[in-house]
Amino acid sequence: TILFATQMLSVDAPLVIVAMLAMAFTFASAAHDDRANSHLLLNSLPVTRREIVTAKYVYHVAASLGFVGMAAIARALLGMISPHAALSQTLITMAVITWYLAIFFPMYYWLGPRFVQVGMIVFFVAIMAIAPWAYNVAVKHNFWGLPELIASLPAVPLYLLVATATFILLLLSWRVSVWLYSKKSF
């Protein structure tokens, strides 16, 4: 997804790397929570399971925003990119990370810690083996006309559409995660 987005929406390499680091951070954080059995501690506190899930979502979105924001600000301050381009690239990168989080958390609460271990292996195999092949196929077919379609759309409505879709997906993901986590027994 990130490789295709870089061709169609002009996101530079540092933000792509930061996005992949934010995704790896989520994997590592979930794996650490499982090793430390933090769910036992969290469920013994006087908070609801809904609040636990909400806190995890807020934490990971905020941490990702911090990673991406620092990279964009550093690039803008160093004169590598204009502030307007830094803002648009930050929004695109955050949308990609948020879509990832919206898929990760329901899968994590549904499939459990084994998903984190297997998912990490599959994620890196896909990045290293499948993504380059898929990218070359997409280049061969000129990304099936998607860059021209995106370029023909006005920027502000396009960003609003992506932001709205991202927010709706994150909200649905959060609801599913709350439901799945409330069904777990510890």
Q: What is the pLDDT of residues 87-112, one digit of tens each?
A: 788 888 899 999 999 999 998 998 88
6 pLDDT more than 60 = no
Cα(163)–Cα(92) distance, rounded to whole angstroms? Answer: 9
Q: Which domain holds residue 77?
A: 2-183
Which is nearest to 56 in space by CA: 95, 8, 102?
Answer: 102
CB 1 within 8 A of CB 95: no
- Mean per-residue pLDDT for 61-86? 84
Structure tokens at 142: 């000129």
Tally of domains in the chain: 1
Q: What is the pTM assigned to this prediction?
A: 0.81
CA distances from 11 to 17, 50, 71, 144 (A): 10, 35, 12, 19
Q: How confident is the model at residue 3 (pLDDT cuts 50, 70, 90)?
A: very low
Which has more confidence, 87 or 5? 87
Structure tokens at 39: 């769910």
The span from the CA of 97 to the CA of 104, in Å, is 10
Convert the pLDDT of each residue in 124-162 to its tens digit: 787 778 878 888 898 898 888 888 888 888 888 888 999
User: DSSP 3-state assignment of 1?
Assistant: coil
pLDDT, one tens digit per residue, over 16-54 is 888 888 988 998 898 888 888 888 888 888 999 999 999
Mean pLDDT, to the nearest integer, of 69-82?
A: 80
